[in-house]
Amino acid sequence: GENVEQHPSTLSVQEGDSAVIKCTYSDSASNYFPWYKQELGKGPQLIIDIRSNVGEKKDQRIAVTLNKTAKHFSLHITETQPEDSAVYFCAASIKTGGFKTIFGAGTRLFVKA
């Protein structure tokens, strides 16, 4: 079945450093890869996404890359700030009758001031 693996599970960085979170997916039919940020006590919120026909996308301090051949995609956060501290989820979406999103296990990011 479909599977999304995410690493690392925990990431601690100093304010101003970069953070990278990596994911792999199993189903080659996956065509949409969103990234969600979940702050304490709240629901996940989309921060950036990438479609399968694009290799890279950037939005200010965050960027995502996709390698379809290797079934890898990554989130890069530059110039991290304490408010970036949260749990980040990668996901892969596939159309199987209905539209299904499979989430990675999450990465807890700590940005130390």
Partner 1 sequence: DTAVSQTPKYLVTQMGNDKSIKCEQNLGHDTMYWYKQDSKKFLKIMFSYNNKELIINETVPNRFSPKSPDKAHLNLHINSLELGDSAVYFCASSQDQGSYNEQFFGPGTRLTVL
Q: Which of 25, 46, 56 has the alpha carbon at shortest distance from 88?
A: 46
Applying the rule CB under 8 A, the residues between 50 and 69 that interact with partner 1 are 51
Residue-by-residue DSSP string for 51-81: ETT-SEEEETTEEEEEETTTTEEEEEE-S--
Site for partner 1 (CB under 8 A): which residue of 49, 57, 68, 76? 49
Work out which of 5, 71, 103, 110 binds partner 1, going by CB under 8 A: 103
| Binding of residue 44 to partner 1 (CB under 8 A) | yes
The two structure tokens encoding residue 48:
């950036």
Closest CB to partner 1 among residues 14, 45:
45
Is the distance from CB of 4 to CB of 24 less than 8 angstroms? yes
Give residues in contact with partner 1 (CB under 8 A). 31-32, 34, 36, 38, 41-46, 49, 51, 87, 89, 93-95, 97-103, 105-106, 108
